[in-house]
Amino acid sequence: MAARATKAGENYNRPGRVDKEKTEIFPALTLPFALARLARRARPARGKEGPMKIAIFGGGSTYTPELIEGLIQRHKTIDLAEVALMDVDAERLAVVGRFAERMVEHAKAPFKVTLTGDRQAALRGADFVLTQIRVGQQPARHKDILLGLRHDLIGQETTGVGGFAKALRTIPAMVEIARDMQTLAPDAWMINFTNPSGLVTEAMHRFGVGKLVGLCNIPIGMQMDLALYLQCDPARLKLDYVGLNHLSWVRKVWLDGADVLPRLIDELAREDGPVAIPEMHYGPAFFRALGCIPGPYLRYYYATDKMLADLKAAPKSRAEEVMEIEAKLLAQYADPKVVTKPDELSQRGGAYYSVIAVDLLDAIWNDKGETHIVNAPNRGAVPGLGDDQTVEVPAVIRKDGARPLPTGPVEPKIFGLMAQVKAYETLAAEAGLEGGYSKALMALVAHPLCPPHKAKAVLDDIVQTFGLRLS
């Protein structure tokens, strides 16, 4: 299988923001919570000697200014010297990159922003490599959605057959980055935002990237929304969070050490309650039986028919909507008078992107031993899954890696789906690395959103639509 180059990418929106592929779990949270978190964490860096260089692949993404804003606010804590933005889309990189330069200059931040289309130049001397690529950009995402609908299946960007198609396109491009890292930046960390994040992170682990963490903003989005609903500082909350990327459950919610989940379940189970979730179409009996808070992407599994009907009925695909939003954002980014992040970026999604990214960089660089919810190899944390299979769970972050914390036994009512999707992800990661048709076919057969009798037709459609070469 061949995939050519890395295009500007993106990461996912959190629940409650303006993204029609998401669902509200709790009312949307405003930015001050995140800014307060940033302020609390600011302190001088005490990491390794020498300033930090960050290389961002997919630097032409419209999300990049969100990350630049976070780095401006926290550059002292990580001793930041350079941010190298790399993208193969030169025109887009010029627009986004020049805007990033103006943001840094306006804030009088001491680090520099460099722009390059040369992967190796970006990697030389890098301490961290942040990947947010999208092979084929939004037009490929639109094809993913249509591909699913052609087969009467979910074609969402990271879930279902659409997510599988995206993974097959993306993994070879990520391998190109990882291979050059081994030579040019062997001590660098890879922080992966590229979707499907957990699957891609597992592929990179299997390829041999040792210093590796995958990130998603769903966990922090759920915590922030819970904090807003409970009217408390997010720091007072602790979540028993378990699952995979975009397939997660919150089994307990501790507020100052007391579990308030039973109260939240009662509210969720009230159809007229203040936090009812009509978009998910889960009834009271379901929530009481489940006994935990499902992540937003579980609606594609728990309410598949409804979600498929919504995708079919939508006048535009989410990719088409995003293309319109991005055109407006890029026009603003190109305006030399614009020197701060536009408010309209919130429509694109990606809330808390900069918070979780910079928090993680800080925790690694300064060896803080903090607990973050990340995607990392299981290493025994979740009983019943393999050590090399990537999970999304709380992990202790040190300069030498992420150590997932033991979750204890995972209840059969959620482990069954979790194990099946994990089997799919592992097969898909191996198929992306090996370029094997048979393994790709078995990955689709394993996916709960692809009936086995449709798997071959779907795979052949993916190969033809995207010009992939599978042997």
**Residue 101's CATH number:** 3.40.50.720
pLDDT band at 48 (very low <50, low <70, confident <90, very high): low
Question: Is residue 445, in this structure, part of any structural domain at all?
Answer: no
C-alpha torsion angle, residues 269, 271, 277, 283 (rounded to 10): 60
Q: Residue 128 pLDDT more than 50? A: yes
Average pLDDT of span 428-442: 98
Predicted pLDDT of residue 20:
38
| Percent of the chain's residues with pLDDT above 70 | 86
What is the extent of the structural domain holding 46?
32-216+317-342
> Rounded to whole angstroms, how far apart are CA atoms 445 and 424?
8
Sheet with 52-57, side-by-side order of all strands: 112-116, 80-86, 52-57, 128-131, 189-192, 212-214, 370-377, 390-398, 401-404
pLDDT band at 352 (very low <50, low <70, confident <90, very high): confident
pLDDT band at 281 (very low <50, low <70, confident <90, very high): low
> Rounded to whole angstroms, how far apart are CA atoms 248 and 229?
20
CA 292 to chain centre: 22
> Rounded to whole angstroms, how far apart are CA atoms 154 and 296?
15
- The per-residue pLDDT for range 55-65, each reduced to its tens digit, is 999 999 999 99
> Rounded to whole angstroms, how far apart are CA atoms 70 and 58?
17
Question: Is residue 194, in this structure, part of any structural domain at all?
Answer: yes
Question: What predicted TM-score, i.e. pTM, was given to this entire model?
Answer: 0.89
Q: Residue 6 pLDDT more than 70? A: no
> Rounded to whole angstroms, how far apart are CA atoms 187 and 173?
20
The CA–CA distances, whole Å, from 410 to 217, 219, 242, 385 equal 23, 18, 8, 10
Average pLDDT of span 233-252: 96
Predicted pLDDT of residue 31:
42
| Percent of the chain's residues with pLDDT above 90 | 78
Average pLDDT of span 232-251: 96
pLDDT band at 356 (very low <50, low <70, confident <90, very high): very high
Q: Residue 404 pLDDT more than 90? A: yes
Question: Is residue 249, in this structure, part of any structural domain at all?
Answer: no
Question: Is residue 10, in this structure, part of any structural domain at all?
Answer: no
Question: Is residue 186, in this structure, part of any structural domain at all?
Answer: yes
Of 123, 206, 194, residue with least CA distance to 387: 206
- Report the range of poorest mean pLDDT among 301-310, 351-360, 420-429, 458-467: 351-360
Question: What are the structure tokens assigned to 317, written together?
Answer: 């695909």
- The per-residue pLDDT for range 90-117, each reduced to its tens digit, is 999 999 999 999 999 999 999 999 999 9
Residues with a known catalytic role: 297
Long-range contacts of 34-40 (CB under 8 A, 24+ apart): 34/224, 34/351, 34/352, 34/355, 36/233, 37/234, 37/235, 37/355, 37/359, 38/70, 38/73, 38/74, 38/355, 38/358, 40/235
* Contact (CB, 8 A) for 393 and 247: no
Instruction: Please tell me the total count of domains within the chain.
Output: 1
- The per-residue pLDDT for range 15-43, each reduced to its tens digit, is 333 343 433 333 334 344 444 444 444 44
Q: Residue 308 pLDDT more than 50? A: yes
Question: Is residue 80, in this structure, part of any structural domain at all?
Answer: yes
CB atoms within 10 A of CB 65: 23
Question: Is residue 6, in this structure, part of any structural domain at all?
Answer: no
Q: Residue 137 pLDDT more than 70? A: yes
Q: Indicate the average pLDDT of the chain.
A: 88
Predicted pLDDT of residue 267:
82
Q: Residue 394 pLDDT more than 80? A: yes
> Rounded to whole angstroms, how far apart are CA atoms 225 and 221?
6
- The per-residue pLDDT for range 261-276, each reduced to its tens digit, is 999 888 878 765 444 4
pLDDT band at 49 (very low <50, low <70, confident <90, very high): low
* Beta strand extents in 233-317 (DSSP E only): 237-244, 247-255, 258-259, 293-294
> Rounded to whole angstroms, how far apart are CA atoms 44 and 303?
48
Q: Residue 331 pLDDT more than 70? A: yes
Q: Residue 434 pLDDT more than 70? A: yes
Question: Is residue 174, in this structure, part of any structural domain at all?
Answer: yes
Predicted pLDDT of residue 229:
84
